[in-house]
A and B are shown apart, each in its own frame.
Chain A
Amino acid sequence: MHYWKQQLAILSGIMLGTAILTGALIVGDSVQYSLKSLVSARLGNIQSILPGRDRFVGIHVADQLSKELNTHMASVLMNRGLMVHPETNQRLPKTQILGVTDDFWKFGDTPYYSLKSNEVVVSESVADKLKLSMGDVIILRIAKEGMIPLNAPFVSHEEVSLSMRLIIAGIADDQHMGRFSLQSNQARPYTAFVSQEALAKKLEMTGKANLLLAESSDVDALNQALARHMLLSDYGLILDSIDDKGHYMLGSERVFIDDELIKQMKSLELQSKGIMTYLVNSIETADKETPYSFVSGIDQELTDILLGANDILVNQWLAEDLDLNEGDSLVLKYYVIGPLRRLEEKQHHFIIKQIVSDSTDLFNRKLMPAFPGLADAGSCSDWEAGIPIDLDKIRDKDEDYWDVYGGTPKAYVSLTTAHELWDTPFGNYTALRIETDQPLEQLSKDLLFPLSPENINLSFIQLRNQSMKAATNGVNFGELFLSLSFFIIAAALLLTILLQSLNLRTRANEGALLSALGFSFKQVLKIRILESILTALPAVLLGILLGIGYNYCLVFALNSVWTDAVQTNELQVFILPNTLLLGGLSGVVMALIPIYWVSRKQLKKTIKQQIIKVSSSTERAGAPNGLLVLSILCFLLAISFMTYAFSKGIDQNSGLFLGAGALVIGAIMMGFLWNARKTSISFSVMTSMNQLAQINLRRNASRSLTVMVLLALGTYTTVITSANRKTFHGTESQNASGTGGYNFWAELALPLLFDLNTKDGLEELGLQNEEGVENTHFLQFHLLEGDDASCLNLNQVQHPKILGVSAHTLDERQSFSFAKTLDMVEKEHPWLALEMDMGEDVIPAFADQTVITWGLIKQLGDSLYYTNEAGKIVTIVLVGGLEASVFQGHLLIADHQFSKHFPSVAGSRVMMVDADASKTAQIGEWLQDDLVDYGLSLHTTEERLANFNSVTNTYLTVFMILGGLGVIIGTIGLGIVLIRNLLERKAEIALLKAIGFSKNSIFQLLFLENLYLLLFGMISGIIAAAIGILPSLLSASFNFGSNGFYWLIGIIFLSGLIWIYWPLQSFLRNDILTDLRSE
C-alpha cells in the first residue's frame, strides 16, 4: 500500500489492456447473437422449406404433408415486384410479394391476419419507407410468372406484370413474420403479404404454390413424404386420353417436358413415343409458301415410314396447298429464340418422303402443346406467339385450317432432326404418346412411380440450420475488433512493462537490501510477483467491467455512426460468461508475463549496481555488428520487395510495398540501435546543445527504441489506413476502373425481355425516340437470385447471386481490372476465361476479390456448388478476382452457361448503361420514366461503388481511430521513459544546474532529447508509410484527402509533446541538489 501510486498506474495499464481485449471479444458475441436473433425474427418457427423457384406444386401437398407428419406447414405463392403509393407516387422496387394463407402467420408468435382479396399486410420496413398507415391504398405491380418460363419459345411477352390495388389491413412487425425472407441478410426486406387465393387467381395459378414452409426440421421425412404425395400435375405434367383405344398423350403445362422426367418415365416398360412440336414461320417451295404452321418431330415408332435426317412427311392439306408430291423438296423456315428474345431465322431443306392421310394417328390437334396465347386463340390473327406474326401472310384458308384442325401439325420430321433443329434447354419433348390397356388413373400412378421431386430440383432444405450457420460463420467481429484494437492493446502492454520497470527501478535499493539480508533471488522475485498479482487481479476485474462498457460503446457506434459497416442498427449487446472469463484470463496472462520478465531482469542486477548510483544504464557495451548487418538486410529486403513488385506490376503486388515499409522501420530502428552503441561518435567534439541532445539520446537506446517503434508503427498504420480509404479520383469513367466505364447500374423488379441494343428491343419498350439513345449501349445480365455476397452482408454466404455476362463484350471494352487470376486466365483477355470449357457441369466464374476472400471465405481455384434447373449439381470454379467493382456481391459466369443451366430465368433484371457523358442526366431521366413500371432502381456506378466503399472506409476509419488512440496511449509510454531517465540522471541534471545551466536551458536540453525521440519515431513511420502506399502515390489520380488523418497525426504529436513537457516541468520543480551533496 505504500507504493499505491505506482501500483495504481500499473493497475491502469492492465485494466486498459483487459478492457480492450474483453470488449472486442464481447462485440464478436454481440454481433453473432444479433445475427442469430435476426434469423429467428426472419423465420419465426419455420425450420425447413421447399423452394420451388420456377416450379409450382399443388397447395394440397402442404396439407397432406402436414397431416402425415403431424407438423405445421404452409404454402406460399412467392413473387416479386414493386409497390407504389398512389398518393405520393413513391415507389418501392425490390418488394417481395407473398401470397399467403392463415397458416403462414402461425409461424409467428401470434397469428396475425386473415387477408381478404383486396387487402394487404405490409412489413414494418415498407410502412416506414413509404410512410404508410392502416387503411392506406397501395398498388402492387407483380411479375407475371407462371408455370411456363417467359424464356420458353412462343411464350407471349405481352404482359410481364399485373397490378393489384389493395388496402393496408396490417403492418407486420418482427413478431408477426414481418421480417420474413429466405435470404441470409441482416437488412430488412420489403414485403407485401396478400391473399394467396387472390394472387393465384390473378396469376392464373389457382391451387398452386412455389414455396412450402414446414415447422419440422426432418428434411428426409419431408422429402420422402413429398415424393409420395406429388401428383403428375405437381411435376407440370398433363395426361389425357386421346381415344378409347388405350392411347394417351402426356404433355406439360410448361410446354416442354423436362428431359430428366422423360428419362425416368422411359425406364418404365410402357409403349411411349416422344413428340416435339414446333411453330415454323413458313413451309416453302420454290414458288409457294404456307405461313405459320406446326411441325412435329416424331419418334420413329409412331410411323412405319423410315424417316432420315432430311425426310419429311406432309399432310394432305399441305400437299394440296403447296402442290407437293413425294420426292419434292421444301424449306422450313423457323425462329431460334436466343437470350433476350433475340430471334434468328434459320431454315432447313427437306425431301418429301410421303404424303400422309388425315386418318393417321398423327393427324391430331393434341400434338400441339398448350402454348399460352396460341392454344386458346380463336383465330390466327389472335395469336400471341412471342414472335413477330405478319398478319398479312395469313390467308383465309389458314384461318379455316385453324378453325377446323387447330394446331394439328402439317408436317412431320424425325425426332432426331427435330432435336437438332429445335433443341431447347427446357426439354426436347412436347409430348409422349403412350399406348397401354391401363385405365387413366392407373397409368398416372405408373408414370409417377419412377419420378422423384429431385428430378425437377424440388427438395426440402433445412433453412433455419443453414441460416444459423451463415450467421455463426459470418464476419467475425471479435477477431476484427481485436485486430482493429491491436495498437491500444500493445500500448497498454507497453505501459504495463514501462510502469513496472519504473516501479522496480525506484525500489532497487529495497530489492538489493532484501538480497543483502539473505533473501534468495527466487524469494525476492516471488514477493514482487505476489505484489503484482494483488494489483493484477482487481485490475483485470475492473478491466472486464470497463470492457463491457467499451463493448456497449462499440455496439452503439456500430448502430449509429459506423452503421455503414454493418448496414443495420439492430445489433444488440450480448455477454457470455465464457467470454468474460477468457478476457479476464487473457488480461492476467498479458499482465503477469511482462511483469515477471521485467522483474526477473531487474532483480538479476548486482547489489552493488543497485546501491551505487552508477549510470549503468548507459549502453556502452560496444555496437554489435549483428545489428548493422540486420539493418542492412532489412533495407535490402525492402528494396528487393519493391523491385520485384515494380517488375511484376505494382497494382498486383501492392502488399509487397506494405511489407517493404515495415522492413524499413526495422532497418531504421536497428540502425539507430547500432549507432547508439558505437563507442566512437560521429563528431570529433561536441560543441553545441543540439549535439549534446543527440549524444544523450543514445543512452538507454533499447528503452528509447521501444517507444520509437510503437510511435513508428502507429504512425505507419495511421497513414496507410488513411491513404487506403477508397475514394474516387477522377478515374471512374475509365473502362479499367471499378465502373467498367459504364455510367449507370440498374436493377429491375420485373425482367426486361428484350435486347435494348436492337431497334426491335427499343421499340418493344418504347425507347426508340429518346434523346441520346442512339449512342447508348446497354449491357444486360441474367440474374439468378441468391444471397448478397457483398460487404453489405454480415452473414457468411453460401450461394451468392449469379450474373450471366457477355464475356466478349467486356473483353472488347477491356472493362474492369483484376486483382488476381489463376494461371489459366490469359492476362491480355481475362474475360474470355469465362468461355473456357472446364468439363461437364463445371463453370468458370469471376467475383470481386474482396468478396472471394471476406464474403465467401475462399480463394481462387475454390468451388461453389449449385443445383441447376435439371436437378444436377454444377460446380462453379473461381478463376479470377476483380478489383473493387460494381459487381460486388455477384458471381459472374458466361451468359451461355447461365442459359444452359438456368434457362427459365427470363430477361434481364440487372443492366449497365454506357451513355454519352454529356447526356447522362437526360438519359437517367428517361430511363427512370420509361422503366418505372419495371421497378427500376437506378444508380450511377459511382454511387454504387461509393456505397461499397463506405463499408471499407468505415472499417478503415475505425482502425484509424482505435489505432490512433493506441498510439496516443503509447505517447504516455514516452512520458514514462522520460521520467525513468530523469530519475537516473538526477545527479547529472543537478550538476548542470551547478555549473550554471539555468532551469530553462536544462529544460530545453531535455526537451530536445525527447523531441528527437518523438520525431524520429513518427518520421520513420511516415517514411515507411510512403513506401507502403507507393502504388497509390504513383497513380496520377491519387488524392490523399483528409478524413481526420491530419487531425489524428496532430493529436498524436501533441500528446507526445504534452507527455514530454509535463514530466519535465514536474521534475525540474523539485529540489535535485540532494544528489550532489556529500552528506
Chain B
Amino acid sequence: MIHLDGISKNYVNAAGMVRDVLKNVSLTLNSGETIAIVGPSGSGKSTLLNIMGGLDKPSKGKVMFLGQDLSSMGEKQSAAIRNKSVGFVFQDHHLLPQLNLMENVLLPGMAEGGSKISGALTERAKLLLAEVELSGKEKQYPAELSGGECQRAALVRALINQPEVLLADEPTGSLDQRSAENLGNMLIEVNQKHKVAMVIVTHALSLARKMDTVYEIQDGQLQLMK
C-alpha cells in the first residue's frame, strides 16, 4: 500500500547549515498491516509520518501510495489522496472549538470546497461515534468533553472517509494511562474491524508491542525491532 524507497529529509537553517532528519529510509506498509515507529524526541518520527501521508515531501527518495508517486504529486492531488485514503490522528486532538462533535467529525466531508455533507456520511459518523462510545454527545463542543473523548472523536474524524491507512502521531501522548490504554485498544479494534492499515508513532512501548511490526528511528535511520 505504501512503499517508502530511500527517503531522506533534511532542513537548511538561515545560516545555511544542513540538518539531516531522515537518511535513506525505506519502508513498506501492506494493506491491513500495523506498524509502530519508536525513537527518541527529535529523531524524525513525525517527519516520516508526514511524508508517508503526503503532508511533507522528502528531500530525496520516493513515496509510492497505492501505486502512485506521492512525492512528486501536485498539492491538490495529494490533498485528495489524504482526504480519501489517509486518516491522521495527532497528539493534540485539534478539534475545532467552534464546531460541535458531529461537525468536527464530518469536517473531512467538505474538503472539496462547497460540497454539502451527504446523509450517508452523517449516518456513518453516528455509527463510528457509537463505536467509540461517544453516542449522545454529538451536539457537545470540545470544551465540554474530556481529553480522551476528544481524542476518540479525532479518531472518528480520521476514519470518516473510510481511509486505507491511518497515520497516528503520538495519539495517546496527551492522555492519562487509562484513557491511553482505552484508545490503544480502540485502534486495534479499528484495524481489525475496518481493515485499516496503521502507522503509529509512539513513545508508549505497550502500544507499540500491539502492532505487527515495530521500527526504531535512530540518527535518521530506520531499524526493525520486531
Contacts and interface: CB of A to CB of B under 8 A. Distances in A.
A425 B130 CA distance: 107
Contact of B98 (A698, A990, A998): A698
Given A998-B75, A998-B79, A1004 B53 contact: no
Given A618-B98, A688-B117, A689-B114, A995 B108 contact: yes
Interface string B28-60: 000000000000011001100010010110000
A445 to B, nearest CB: 102
Contact of A988 (B87, B94, B169, B173): B94
B116 A1073 contact: no
B111 A618 contact: no
A713 to B, nearest CB: 28
Chain A, interface size category, equals 35 or more
A1067 to B, nearest CB: 15
Interface stretch (B12-20, B64-72, B99-107, B178-186): B99-107
Given A687-B117, A996-B111, A1000-B113, A1076 B94 contact: yes
Interface in B76-120: 76, 79-84, 86-88, 90-92, 94, 96-99, 102-103, 106-108, 110-117
A1001 B113 contact: yes
Given A994-B55, A994-B82, A1077-B169, A1001 B90 contact: no
Given A991-B94, A994-B53, A688 B108 contact: no
Nearest to B169: A1078
Q: Counting chain B CB atoms within 10 Å of each CB, which of A615, A997, A1004, A1005 scores highest?
A: A997
A67 interface: no
A689 B97 contact: no
B24 to A, nearest CB: 21
A997 B41 contact: no
B162 to A, nearest CB: 13
B84 A996 contact: yes
Contacts of B99: 686, 692, 695
A641 to B, nearest CB: 37
B141 interface: yes
Contacts of A1077: 46, 50, 169
A987 B116 contact: no
B114 A690 contact: yes
Contact of B102 (A685, A999, A1079): A685
B132 to A, nearest CB: 17
B115 A999 contact: no
Contacts of B76: 998-1000
Contacts of A1005: 113
B122 interface: yes
Nearest to A988: B96
B75 A620 contact: no
B88 A995 contact: yes
Contacts of B157: 995
B158 to A, nearest CB: 8
A5 to B, nearest CB: 16
A1079 B173 CA distance: 11
B216 interface: no
B138 to A, nearest CB: 8
A699 interface: yes
A1073 B84 contact: no
A685 B101 CA distance: 10
A315 B79 CA distance: 127
A990 B99 CA distance: 16
Given A620-B141, A692-B110, A998-B79, A1076 B96 contact: no
Nearest to A1071: B56
A1000 B78 CA distance: 13
Interface residues of B, number: 50
B143 interface: yes
Contacts of A996: 79-84, 86, 108, 111, 161
B170 interface: yes
Nearest to B44: A1079
A688 B116 contact: yes
A850 to B, nearest CB: 52
B45 A1079 contact: yes
A1010 to B, nearest CB: 15
A1004 B76 CA distance: 14
A993 B94 contact: no
B13 to A, nearest CB: 13
A446 to B, nearest CB: 103
A993 B79 contact: yes
Contact of B94 (A685, A687, A987, A1004): A987
B107 A1004 contact: no
A688 B53 CA distance: 25
Contact of A1073 (B55, B92, B115): B55
B47 to A, nearest CB: 8
A686 B141 CA distance: 13
A696 interface: yes
Interface in A950-1004: 987-988, 990-1001, 1004
B224 to A, nearest CB: 22
Nearest to B108: A995
A997 B83 contact: yes
Contacts of B113: 689, 998, 1000-1001, 1004-1005
A992 B113 CA distance: 12
Contacts of B80: 996, 998
Q: Counting chain A CB atoms within 10 Å of each CB, which of B82, B141, B158, B201 scores highest?
A: B82
A1000 B173 CA distance: 32
Interface string A664-698: 00000000000000000000011111101001101
12 contacts: A618-B97, A620-B97, A620-B143, A685-B103, A686-B103, A688-B117, A987-B94, A994-B53, A996-B83, A1001-B112, A1073-B56, A1079-B46
Give the 9 A-B residue pairs with the shortest CB-CB distance, closest first: A996-B83, A998-B79, A1078-B91, A1001-B113, A687-B117, A996-B82, A1078-B170, A991-B94, A996-B111
Given A994-B82, A999-B75, 10 more contacts: A620-B98, A685-B122, A686-B99, A688-B117, A690-B114, A993-B55, A1000-B76, A1001-B112, A1001-B113, A1078-B46
Interface of A: 615, 618, 620, 685-690, 692, 695-696, 698-699, 987-988, 990-1001, 1004-1005, 1073, 1076-1079
Interface of B: 41-42, 45-46, 50, 53, 55-56, 75-76, 79-84, 86-88, 90-92, 94, 96-99, 102-103, 106-108, 110-117, 122, 141, 143, 157-158, 161, 169-170, 173, 201
